[in-house]
Chains A and B, each alone.
Chain A
Amino acid sequence: MEERRKFLKSLGATTVGATAAGVAGSLAVDANGEAAATTPAAPVKIDPRLRDAFPDVEVTAHTGEKFRFYDDLIRDKVVMINFMSTRNEQGFPVTAKMADIAAQLGDRLGKDVFIISISRDPAYDTPRRLAAFAQKHGVGKGWYLVTGTYAAAGALETRMYRHKHESGALTSALCTGRDRKVDIVFYGNGGAGVWGTFPVDIRPDDAATRITWVMPGKMPTGAPRRAGPRRLNAAERLSHNRDA
């Protein structure tokens, strides 16, 4: 019942007086920083031909900064994007896995690549809660935990992919992660418009390699180089046959 009340509350927040056409509403935080997602929102329009079809909604980061999701965080950047919620973490520790990947990226994070973790539980995940959560997971430079209105977070989630009904956008208050077993990280290059995904539970070094695949490359010069296969070696246990 508790969960259902929360769900209805969050639903109400998006249904009353949808007036701000074209804008997905903004986040309202009370004096305690606890209430959220109270501003009405219109449905978010998406044009697949623009902005790689990302909704350019307003989000607020754990740092308190406000961003346009596409213009400020995606355009011309190489990014990894995942969905999380603070209440989900115990059931499915996705932020811990992202922290392992962030550690692999080292000082490239915040310079060559950025991580955006979108809360799928925006009614609960206020910027203040996200800030505390970020501290706990050692979230540093180049990594933003973001939240927004119910509609804004939902638009992003709905646009990119959706989850089990129990934890989907419209039922985000039910988002406890109890059934969550698999998840993916989106990665791409906003400047080039190329996007892929990898499962979140691959090895962190593998994840750190994959993000390099979408980084801008230089036009090759000279004779082509051999990429593989490498010389046979029965003792090796690598996951591929490329030259080392």
Chain B
Amino acid sequence: MISRRNALKVGLTAAGTGMTTKLANAAGGPVPQSGLIFPQTFTPSIVERPSPPATPFVAPLNVMPIAQPVNPASLVPGPDPLRHQRYDEFLPQKHYVQRIGEFRWQYHPEPPYDQGTWSWGFNGITPGETYHAYYGEPVFLRRINELPPVGAGNAAFPLPSVTIHLHNAHTASESDGIPQDYFNPGEFWDHHYANFAAGFDPREIMGTLWYHDHRLDFTAPNVYAGLSGFYLLFDEKDSNNERDRNPEAFRLPSGKYDVPLILHDVQFDENGQVIWDFFNPAPDAGTMTPTALYTTNGMVGDRFTVNRIIQPHFKVERRKYRFRILNGGPSRLYDLSLRADSSRPRKAVRKGEKFFVISTDGNLLEEPLVKKRIEVWVAQRHDVIIDFSHFAPGDHVYLVNHLEMRDDGAGTTGRELDEGNLVMRFDVVESKRKDPSRIPDEMRELPTIDMREVRKERLFVFDYDNGLWTVNGKLMDPNRVDAAIEQDSAEIWTFRNAGNSWVHPIHTHFEEFQILEVNGKAVKKGDVLRARKDVVSLGPNMDVKFFGRWRDFLGKHVMHCHNVVHEDHAMMIRWDIVPPGEGD
């Protein structure tokens, strides 16, 4: 982790120097101020017009309700098995309906936020309901688009045409929510989630999934408007029961002690309405010309929200909790720690100021890792256990972000904040009952990596060209198949960041992979990267090589940067799973 942080710093410095020299040469010398389109005094809107103030820790945390199934007979027309791969093999046992619509959502109780912010969400809330799904219990989910058509809504910047992706689910193309599979106001889309482990290998079982909009060209504004939520998967080991008598069960904190937290940073106008600055220009104060900081960098908000509440507080008992921490984007990266404001001796408090990291990217690790800091890039998840029994009733424990972002959204400044941003506050109260939950010694074994299965190695170079974000020099074209992968084969992919200042959280759909090497070095035991993953943290000039398998279904999927502004501009490829013998 340290080395990557240094790389970020070095990369940024080098980029700055190179850029200035290059421009100075091109211009034949310093450029006078009066020649600038934007004067040096230009500041991005986030700095010039910050969001209205909101007293932190006033609002309670929003804990999303658990989604409730509907009677399948109420679905008209009913499910059509001919539209889904392997439907009859994985007959849905639970059916759900989500209505996607527009409403006012209260991010904070103080004015102007108390008037409600026009938002988009599921069944009237954002984030949407949390799904509790079980392996062996396939789900059928109908999503109906009830958004007002273009020009008729109150939230103007998103596109009322959506496609909802279930992030890291092992799902057939037609239910995956790929960018091309949009549905418009007045239309619905049926999703079949088979809920089985890839290759029927129990080591491939996953846990913390999330759903979000993935609309071609409009993912960033649509997610920003509110289209995200959690989908949790359980099995007999991670059984959603901390009192489980099954000796195989992990007995992780469950029920109201298992809390998903989705982090979104948002910017608001003086009326408490969300601002999305489409073109987001970013001339950099302090350099002599409009700079290499481009409009398609990213969108950074100045209000930290958790489950769409600005800096909430959450009452916690003196016991263990499982938090599923997800960075919902659009562009900000986090480096999180815990800091307590406690009356107890410092030594005792320090024991509580740490995370027991049990999963990365939603997949339980081989064993829990104890970390003071966790990096969470866009779309990444860490399930952590925090043990509040080390604190006293009345103590406050803060979730703190230490990674500073550039105001233009492009990436980190390379600065680590000591004091940091306080994202939310846990208020400790006495526990009424004994804590039956456990932190297991061992969790899920990693699937075997068998190099004999590898049919092909591929290199994907992520770069920046002409203000745009490229993969192997190209922008996304849904009619172009960039990789034809044979079903039941394995491949080795290398992600290379050719940029020396940009960072990219790169996500590929459908099946988890295991990282073999980072910059030529193997991932060591004790590193959170030793895991099944679906997002690569691709720092400047970095090479990441991984092993992956593609099984069980055929069809179209995508791989893309999950800084969703980069994705929309158009750092994404289409890859297909094709029958054996038809690969490229």
A interface, CB within 8 angstroms of B: 4, 7-8, 11, 14-15, 18, 43-44, 46, 48-49, 52-53, 151, 154-155, 158-171, 174, 179-184, 189, 191-199, 201-203, 206, 210, 213-232, 234, 239-242
Contacts and interface: CB of A to CB of B under 8 A. Distances in A.
B477 A199 contact: yes
Given A8-B28, A202-B479, A226 B187 contact: yes
B39 interface: yes
10 contacts: A44-B38, A165-B22, A170-B31, A170-B289, A181-B466, A199-B477, A224-B144, A227-B184, A227-B187, A242-B181
Contact of A162 (B183, B294, B568): B294
B53 interface: no
A161 B294 contact: yes
Contact of A239 (B152, B186, B218, B574): B574
Nearest to A205: B479
> Which secondary structure dominates where chain B touches chain A?
loop
A46 B37 CA distance: 10
Contact of B150 (A52, A215, A232, A234): A215
B147 to A, nearest CB: 10
Given A53-B277, A213-B150, A225-B187, 8 more contacts: A170-B35, A192-B151, A195-B279, A202-B477, A213-B159, A217-B184, A227-B184, A241-B556
Nearest to A186: B279
A182 B467 CA distance: 9
A232 B269 CA distance: 46
A110 B146 CA distance: 31
B73 interface: no
B69 interface: no
Nearest to A156: B37
A59 B62 CA distance: 50
Contacts of B187: 220, 224-227
Contact of A196 (B22, B149, B159): B159
Contacts of A198: 217, 570
A164 B466 contact: yes
B94 interface: no
A197 B217 contact: yes
B217 A43 contact: no
Contact of A232 (B82, B184, B218, B477): B82
B322 interface: no
A217 B152 CA distance: 8
B375 to A, nearest CB: 29
A4 B23 CA distance: 13
B178 A162 contact: no
Contact of A182 (B158, B292, B295, B470): B470
A230 B294 CA distance: 39
Contacts of A168: 290
Nearest to A192: B151
B468 A183 contact: yes
B26 A166 contact: yes
A216 to B, nearest CB: 4
B34 A15 contact: yes
Nearest to A218: B149
A183 B218 contact: no
A220 B186 contact: yes
B150 A183 contact: no
B547 interface: no
Given A184-B468, A202-B479, A225 B186 contact: yes
A193 B49 CA distance: 20
B479 A230 contact: no
Given A15-B32, A160-B295, A216 B467 contact: no
Given A46-B281, A162-B295, A171-B26, A217 B470 contact: no
A7 B473 CA distance: 29
Nearest to A164: B466
B569 A229 contact: no
A184 B151 contact: no
Contacts of B158: 194
Interface string B551-584: 0001110000000000011100010000000000
A221 B149 CA distance: 12
Contacts of A15: 32, 34-35
B36 interface: yes
A43 B468 CA distance: 25
Given A197-B217, A217-B150, A228 B281 contact: no
B475 A158 contact: no
A158 B479 contact: no
B520 interface: no
B478 interface: yes
A201 to B, nearest CB: 7
A104 to B, nearest CB: 14
B278 A52 contact: yes
A167 B569 CA distance: 19
Contact of A229 (B189, B283, B292): B189
Given A8-B28, A43-B36, A184 B569 contact: yes
Interface in B427-482: 465-468, 470, 473-479
Nearest to B475: A199
Contacts of B556: 239-241
Nearest to A233: B82
Interface in B131-171: 144-146, 148-152, 156-161
A224 B97 CA distance: 13
A182 B148 contact: no
B28 A226 contact: no
B371 interface: no
Contact of B174 (A213, A225, A241): A241
Interface string B244-285: 000000000000000000000000010000010111010100
B130 interface: no
A181 B465 contact: yes
A15 to B, nearest CB: 4
Contacts of A4: 28
A232 to B, nearest CB: 6
A224 B186 contact: yes
A44 B37 contact: yes
A206 B480 CA distance: 12
B334 to A, nearest CB: 25
B494 interface: no
B570 A203 contact: no
A232 B187 CA distance: 19
B27 interface: yes
A178 B464 CA distance: 16
Contact of A184 (B157, B160, B475): B475
Given A4-B28, A165-B26, A18 B156 contact: no
